Structure 1
Amino acid sequence: MMRSAILRLALGAALVGTALTGCGDNKNTIAKARRFAQQGNYAEAHKAFDEALAADANDYNALWGKADTYRREGNLAKQAEVLEKVVAQEELMKSYAGVIKPALEENYRKQAEQKMADAAAAEGFLRKAIELNKKSEANQTLANLLYKEAKEAHGKKDLAKALEYYGKALDLRMPRALRNKIKMQQEVAEFLKFKQDFEPTWQAAKPKLIEAGQYDEKTDTVFVTAEVEVDGKVGDEGYEQNAE
C-alpha cells in the first residue's frame, strides 16, 4: 500500500512538472517571437508564434502576438483573421474583449480606407466596425461614403438609388451639420422623384387639356375652372357678392 501511494505521488509530481515545463517553454517561445517581431524579422516571428500555438491553440498571448506581427507587416486581412478567432472564443473574450474589440474595429476601419475605390467593400468593413462599436468613427466615414454615392446617382438622375443612399446615410450617427446637408439633398431628390414619376401621367393628359383650352404650352400654364351653387336669387341681400 505504502509503495503504491508513493508511486502515485511520484507520477503526479512528474505530470505537474511536465505541465509546468511546457507552460514555461511556451512562455519562452512567445517571448522569442516578440523579439523577432520587434526586430522586423516577421518570418521567424510567425514561425515561433506558430510553435507556441501548436502547443496551445488558445494561448491568448500567442494569438495576440501573431495578430500584432501581421499588423506590423501591414497585412490587415491576416491580422483580422487572427483577431476574429479570438472573438469567436467566449472564454478569451471574457478577459480580453476590452483589448480585442478596439483592435479589430481599428483594423476594419483601416481596411475600409484601403477599399474606398470599391464602395461596397468599404461599406462592408465600416459596418463591421460599427457592429463592434456603435459610436465608432466609422459612422461618419460611412455616412460620407453613402452621401457621395447618393450624389453620383442623383447626378445620373437615378433618383430611386439616390434616395436609397440618402436614407442609409441618415440612419447613421453623424454631426448635425452633415445630417442637415444630407437631409436637404434628400428632400430635393424626393421632389424630383415625384416629378419624374408623374411625368408619364402629365404627358398623357396634356393633349386633352390643350384641346379643352385648359393648358397653354407657350406659358406652361394650366387653367382651372370651378362651379359652385349659391342659394338665393337676384335681389337677395349678399347674393351678388356670394356669386362672384
Structure 2
Amino acid sequence: MAGRLAEVPGVVGVMLGGSRARGDHRPESDWDLGVYYRGGLDLAAMGELAGPGVEVAGPGGWGPWVDGGAWLRVDGVAVDWILRDLDRVERVWSECAEGRYEVGVQPGHPLGFWSPCYAGEVALGRVLADPGGELTDLRRRAGQYPEALRQALVAGAWEAEFLVEGAVKGAARADVLYVALCLSRAVGVLVQAMYAEDRRWCLNEKGALAVAEALPSAPPGFGPRVRGLLAAPGRSSEELVAVVDGARALVAEVRAVLGRRAG
C-alpha cells in the first residue's frame, strides 16, 4: 500500500507511525500511514486507491494541523492515512532545532496540537516508501533531540503554575469547568516538559501520563496524585480548593525537580 501511495502525484513518501512503528502495539491497534506530500496532491488518485465508499479528506479537511487523510478497513483491520505537508514539517523541524514551538487547536487533541509532534513522528516512525530519500534524510536529522527544544519545553513549565494559580479563583467560585480545564492543561504542560527533559518526543495525550510517571523527573507518587486530581476535582468550592491546593504542591515539586536536573 505504501508503494502505491508513493506513486500518487504529489506524494513524496510514506511512513508507518504510531504504536505499530514503535513496536508497542496490540493486535487490534490501527495501522497509521503518514502520507507526506508537497504542492498539489492528486486526491482523485488517492480516492481510486482507497476504493469505493472511502472518503479522502484533502489538506485542511480535518483541521489545521492534522491535514486530512482517510480511514480504511483492510481485511477487517483499521488503516489510517494521515496527510502531512512535508514543507511544513521541514519548517517545524527547523523551528524545533532553534528551540521554537507552538500549540495549535486541532480536533481530537484536547490539550492542543504541539508542533514538535511533526518532528517526533518522523523521528519515531518507520520509512516505508521514499523514492527521493527525503524522509530518510529528515528522519536521520530528527533522530537527535534538539537541546534548544528541550530547554524551551522545560522552561515552558511555568504555564502550569500560572494555570493552577488561575484555578484558585475558579475554585472559590465553585466553577467546576474552569478548574477542571486548568488542571488538565497544567498536567499536560508538565508532561510535555518532563518528556523534553528526558529527550523524548511526546506525540499526543494518549498514554502520556503512564510514560511520564516513570520518567526521572517525576516526583514520588506523580501518577496516582495526578489521577486523584483529575478523576474527581469536586463540586463545592471547599472540595475544589482542596484539589487545587494539591495541584499547586504537585506543580511546585515537578518544577523543582526539573530545575535541579537542569542545573
| TM-score bracket for this pair, using the shorter chain length | under 0.3
TM-score w.r.t. the length of structure 2 is 0.26
Instruction: Using structure 1 for the length normalisation, give the TM-score.
Output: 0.27
Which has the greater radius of gyration? 1
**Which structure carries more relative contact order (alpha carbon 8 Å, separation 6+)?**
2
